[in-house]
């Protein structure tokens, strides 16, 4: 007789992914400047720790709010007692105003159409339960956030079918790739219920173009029975041009969305304060939808993962302080930009390039020249060296379902400039040692890449450095 459920004993959670395994290795041997200077530096965690001083400064100036007081009187009992799972109206209003502010107030959000959840993880899973049955599918462009294998699939039974994107066009979604994914799902006898994208992208650190967003809206409009979910939890981290374009802005620009095939009711936005405000531990996420049925169902489901009343009260006051939010958004972007450029510059000195990015807490780093062969086996061998020998936890592209071996997601916002400089020093020493080892074994110090027909070709590191340096120079000129 089975003692536990199949869900309790199955191995489909994704915890054995290299993405999570890297975290485990870091936790066994975490870097500390004083107590463990040779430990592993965590570069696989997309946390924004660059602007905590701004949050702490606000708290210090608003002691009544931090102490759960109103007009000098405690409201602890009021907050501690049962609250409606619809959420505090004051917080929902402050949150939608903050979301609008991040989007340049080009769009507005109705607080009656927002559902509070315990983080974006809960928001995405709740939408899966609302929109799809077990065994149905959502299309996701690759590479995508490794946690989606857990968030979207594990408890819901919903399948993920990849939209295969590649480096030839900087991993942008094409109509051909979108339609091929749809056909791939049909071949697997899967009913496609929609498309889910992250904008800005995790792990690419790039924003989606208007043409990509219009392509997706046109696609679900054509199919007439599909949804589009836009996970926009990094919308406030866009630090360089081009700016962020929300799917809601695209819908607003299209005159036909309200009446034509109900497209407006089939587009849903996921948001969170984990990245933009750097508060993942507060577990504040949200679903925004104009579909009344989805909002009603998601609100009922939210009772399984509520945001505490104390958290809502504190953040409603913080987000309601417009002077603070304007300053925070602007200053946080400046700090992200500076830290990102420090990472890119450090990689360039090592001879490694990145995908040109303008958002997020990470870079999509091209280490193909360090592979011994163009295989995912070689990628994992390189990843293990970087974790165990170099002492850096980064996320291999294969964990993000990238179709090309040799790409890695490297986070930069969860550490000090000093720690980032040390990480780059370690990596530079490693690449130099690898080059010397290759030279002594008869290989060129230049990178060896495997082309499509299986033969090797040489690729100069100098070309990569020159290409990225020129691109950064042009971008700086545009920004001035």
Residues involved in catalysis: 145, 231, 233, 275
CA-closest candidate to residue 357, choices 197, 478, 211, 242? 242
Q: How many whole angstroms separate alpha carbon 444 and alpha carbon 64?
A: 65
Half-sphere exposure of 270 (CA within 13 A, CB side): 28
Q: What angle do CA 401, 405, 408 make, to 5 degrees?
A: 70
- Per-residue b or e along 82-91, where b marks 16 or more CB atoms closer than 10 Å to that residue's CB: ebebebbebb
Query: Other CB atoms closer than 10 Å to residue 440's CB: what's the count?
Result: 8
Q: How many whole angstroms separate alpha carbon 88 and alpha carbon 251?
A: 28
Which residues is 73 bridged to in the sheet?
Answer: 70
176 three-class SS: helix
Q: How many whole angstroms separate alpha carbon 21 and alpha carbon 2?
A: 29
CA-closest candidate to residue 272, choices 425, 151, 446, 442? 151
Q: How many whole angstroms separate alpha carbon 413 and alpha carbon 278?
A: 10
The dihedrals phi and psi of 464, each to the nearest 5 degrees, come to -65, -45
Burial class (CB in 10 A: 0-12, 13-18, 19+), 100: middle
Q: What angle do CA 442, 445, 449 make, to 5 degrees?
A: 95
Q: What angle do CA 452, 458, 464 make, to 5 degrees?
A: 100
> What token pair was written down for 16?
């054995």
Q: How far is CA 98 from the centre of its chain?
A: 19
Query: Other CB atoms closer than 10 Å to residue 427's CB: what's the count?
Result: 25
């Amino acid at each position: 007789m089975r003692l536990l459920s199949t869900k309790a004993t199955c191995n489909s959670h994704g915890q054995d992914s290299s993405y999570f395994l890297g975290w485990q290795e870091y936790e066994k041997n975490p870097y500390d400047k004083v107590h463990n200077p040779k430990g592993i530096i965590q570069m696989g965690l997309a946390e924004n720790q660059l602007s905590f001083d701004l949050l702490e400064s606000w708290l210090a100036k608003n002691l009544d709010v931090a102490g759960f007081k109103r007009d000098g009187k405690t409201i602890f009992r009021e907050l501690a007692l049962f609250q409606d799972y619809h959420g505090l109206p004051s917080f929902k209003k402050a949150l939608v105003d903050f979301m609008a502010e991040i989007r340049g107030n080009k769009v507005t959000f109705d607080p009656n159409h927002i559902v509070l959840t315990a983080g974006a993880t809960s928001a995405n899973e709740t939408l899966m339960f609302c929109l799809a049955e077990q065994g149905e599918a959502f299309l996701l462009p690759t590479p995508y956030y490794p946690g989606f294998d857990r968030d979207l699939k594990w408890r819901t039974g919903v399948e993920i079918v990849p939209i295969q994107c590649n480096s030839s066009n900087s991993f942008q979604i094409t109509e051909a790739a979108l339609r091929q994914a749809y056909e791939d799902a049909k071949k697997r006898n899967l009913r496609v219920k929609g498309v889910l994208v992250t904008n800005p992208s995790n792990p690419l650190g790039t924003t989606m173009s208007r043409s990509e967003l219009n392509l997706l809206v046109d696609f679900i409009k054509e199919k007439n029975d599909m949804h589009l979910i836009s996970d926009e939890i990094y919308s406030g981290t866009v630090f360089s041009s081009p700016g962020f374009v929300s799917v809601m802005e695209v819908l607003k620009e299209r005159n036909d969305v309200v009446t034509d095939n109900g497209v407006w009711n089939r587009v849903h936005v996921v948001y969170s304060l984990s990245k933009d405000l750097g508060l993942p531990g507060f577990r504040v996420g949200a679903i925004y939808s104009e579909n009344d049925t989805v909002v009603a169902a998601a609100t009922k489901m939210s009772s399984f993962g509520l945001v505490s009343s104390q958290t809502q009260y504190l953040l409603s006051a913080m987000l309601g302080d417009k002077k603070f939010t304007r300053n925070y958004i602007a200053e946080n972007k400046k700090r992200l930009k500076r830290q990102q450029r420090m990472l890119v510059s450090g990689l360039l000195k090592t001879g490694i390039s990145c995908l040109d990015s303008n958002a997020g807490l990470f870079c999509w780093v091209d280490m193909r020249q360090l592979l011994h062969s163009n295989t995912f086996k070689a990628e994992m061998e390189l990843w293990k060296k970087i974790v165990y020998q170099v002492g850096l936890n980064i996320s291999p592209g294969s964990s993000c379902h990238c179709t090309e071996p040799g790409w890695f997601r490297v986070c930069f916002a969860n550490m000090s400039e000093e720690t980032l400089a040390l990480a780059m020093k370690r990596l530079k020493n490693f690449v130099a040692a690898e080059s010397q080892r290759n030279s002594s074994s008869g290989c060129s110090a230049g990178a060896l890449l495997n082309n499509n027909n299986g033969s090797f070709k040489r690729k100069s590191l100098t070309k990569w450095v020159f290409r990225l340096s020129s691109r950064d120079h042009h971008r700086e000129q545009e920004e001035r």
